[in-house]
A and B are shown apart, each in its own frame.
Chain A
Amino acid sequence: MQLYLPIAEVSVNAFLILGLGGIVGFLSGMFGVGGGFLITPLLFFIGVPPAVAVATGANQVVASSISGVLAQLKRKGVDFTMGTVLLVGGVIGSAIGVWVFALMTRLGQIDLFVQLSYVLFLGLIGALMFQESLRSLLKSRKAGGAPVRRAHVHSWVHGLPFKMKFRASGLYISVIPPALIGVAVGFLSAIMGVGGGFILVPAMIYLLGMPTKVVIGTSLFQIIFVTSFTTVMHAVNSQTVDMMLALLLILGGVIGAQIGTRVGVRLKAEQLRILLSLLVLTVSIRIAVDLLVTPDELYSVAPGVLP
């Protein structure tokens, strides 16, 4: 069934979009990530203009994060204090990101900028995650059990001023690192149309030393607000949120996520992390190839404005 998208101004197959949403939802439910880093590049591939893909991707992440955070709330897996600090940073970062996005669009470098961000961040996080999970998988094989880890590691992060108590995480640390992490994630959310969970989760575990049980819930809590803010900013600044496209993606996504969660429960944490890191690396390499291989058509046409 063909469906004409009012904002993207392209006609797409509705079932294809539902399917895409479903597959991404499945993966995001399985791995506990928003899935924005998959949705946005996939939308590029099927011909949705990049600006619309990024803005609509953010809107889709809002839905999947709300769905996820409701489940985490019941498990008391949300540190609201930490989430709020991250959020303040996130909103600032998102505003900067939306501004840079508009600037790059004017300069005609937005595609490159988005692609480079994807290659760089997905490649980096994917490689780190792969290395770490491979090591712990090997270790658990050898020892025959999960590795024992300290509650958190003391590092330079704990020497900064403006200390604050984060009761749910059992931390007493400076607000500067979480606020900065928030800014970085908010920025990426606006540029890449992602929630930023794939950066937030490792940052909270390895940089802030938060216990794993509150990490996913807190990250989702923060992501809801940052992607909401990003969606509204894009809608106001560039009118690039396509409601019709978002609804289809969400519909497919929430169904996929519920199935994915069930499958994810059956897999071991290390196996999940290895699979997720491979997925992240694949997306990153796929985009890198596009940048390196000589394109078929060197020219591109975009509606412009007279200076």
Chain B
Amino acid sequence: MIRWMLILLALALPAAGQEQIVAGMSQNRVSITADFDGSEILIYGAVKRDAPPPEGGPLEVIVTVEGPATPVAVRRKGRVAGIWVNNASVLVDSAPSFYAVATTGPLNHILSDTDNLRYGITIERVIRAIGISGEADKAGEFILALLRVRTNEGRYRILEGKVELTEDTLFRSDVVLPANLTEGEYKVRLFLLRDKRVIASQERVIGVRKEGLERFIFNLAQEQPLIYGLLSLVLAALAGWGASAAFRLIRV
């Protein structure tokens, strides 16, 4: 009887969520204005417990921030008749425009492969590339190249050890959003882990939007392209005429 209860208890523990996340963010919207030069977001939280911390490995925290995903074309240059030409390409179904993973420790020490696969935590698990192997030989290299290029651009970041965890209860992490940000909903996910397994998770959203003049110009270009094009011309004409007129005044 007691043995059965223990087993039941053991099974119920992860599901019941004995440890839960209470999370907050310094801001849940980012405005891209004319002087936008990147933004830093503080993601913080606490671990809520109904009982003393369970036995087992130490508590670990992973925070991910994911920008809106789009299909991307990855192209490879090759030498054709002496010049470098794009001669092979692979279309990746979906790759986020931004992705940051912040952790309390080295990823391979705190996260198991199965849970990584299940929750899609590292960037390799977030990129969806189904059936690319048929598109080009060595299709895997294109995915690696995508990761490399976007990492160099600062779009994909692995911030191991950049989550501070205090007293196994409070945690915080700063994630820097770069200046070349795309608009859209940025998904923030928080994971609590013990023994390489996810024991609790939570999701938040940061809205990134162009504001003010940026918003106005972008909307006009998208929704009224003809008027936008003509307006660009009028501005160009005014500036061209204005400058020569101004210099004529100076000369006199």
- A residues sitting closer than 8 Å to B (CB atoms) are 1-4, 6-7, 9-11, 59-60, 62-67, 70-71, 108-109, 111-112, 228, 231-236, 239, 241, 243-244, 246-247, 250-251, 254-255, 257-258, 291-292, 294-295, 297-307
Contact = CB atoms under 8 A, between A and B. Distances in A.
B225 A235 contact: yes
Given A235-B225, A254-B244, A292-B83, A63 B73 contact: no
A232 to B, nearest CB: 4
Nearest to B212: A6
B214 interface: yes
B229 A301 contact: no
23 contacts: A2-B36, A3-B34, A59-B232, A108-B73, A112-B86, A228-B233, A235-B225, A236-B226, A236-B229, A243-B221, A243-B228, A250-B240, A251-B239, A254-B239, A255-B243, A258-B243, A298-B76, A299-B142, A300-B75, A302-B72, A303-B70, A306-B91, A306-B93
A7 B218 contact: yes
In the complex, the 4 A-B pairs of residues with the closest C-beta atoms, listed nearest first: A235-B229, A254-B243, A304-B73, A299-B145
Nearest to B216: A6
Contacts of B89: 108
Interface residues of B, number: 62
Interface stretch (B146-154, B164-172, B191-199): B146-154
B74 interface: yes
B238 to A, nearest CB: 9
Given A4-B34, A232-B229, A304-B91, A244 B217 contact: yes
Best-buried of A1, A109, A235, A254 by chain B (most CB within 10 Å): A235
Interface in B202-224: 210, 213-215, 217-218, 221-222
A232 B213 CA distance: 21
Interface of B: 32-38, 70-78, 82-86, 89, 91-93, 142, 145-146, 148-150, 152, 179-182, 210, 213-215, 217-218, 221-222, 225-226, 228-233, 235-237, 239-244, 247
Contact of A67 (B73, B93, B221, B240): B240
A52 to B, nearest CB: 11
Contacts of A11: 36-38, 179-180
Contacts of A301: 72-75, 145-146, 149-150
Contact of A241 (B182, B221, B239): B221
B35 A63 contact: no
A298 B226 contact: no
A163 B51 CA distance: 98
A144 B5 CA distance: 112
Nearest to B85: A112
B71 A3 contact: no
Interface of A is mostly: helix
Contacts of B34: 3-4, 244
B79 to A, nearest CB: 8
A247 B149 contact: no
Given A67-B241, A235-B228, A301-B149, A258 B247 contact: yes
B243 A67 contact: yes
Given A3-B35, A66-B237, A302-B72, 7 more contacts: A9-B181, A10-B180, A232-B226, A232-B229, A236-B225, A292-B83, A300-B74
Given A239-B221, A297-B149, A307-B91, A63 B236 contact: yes
A108 B149 contact: no
A71 B150 CA distance: 48
Nearest to B223: A239
Given A236-B225, A254-B239, A303-B72, A108 B86 contact: yes
Contacts of A70: 240-241, 244
B223 to A, nearest CB: 10
B237 A295 contact: no
- Give the residue among A64, A241, A246 with the most B Cβ atoms within 10 A: A241
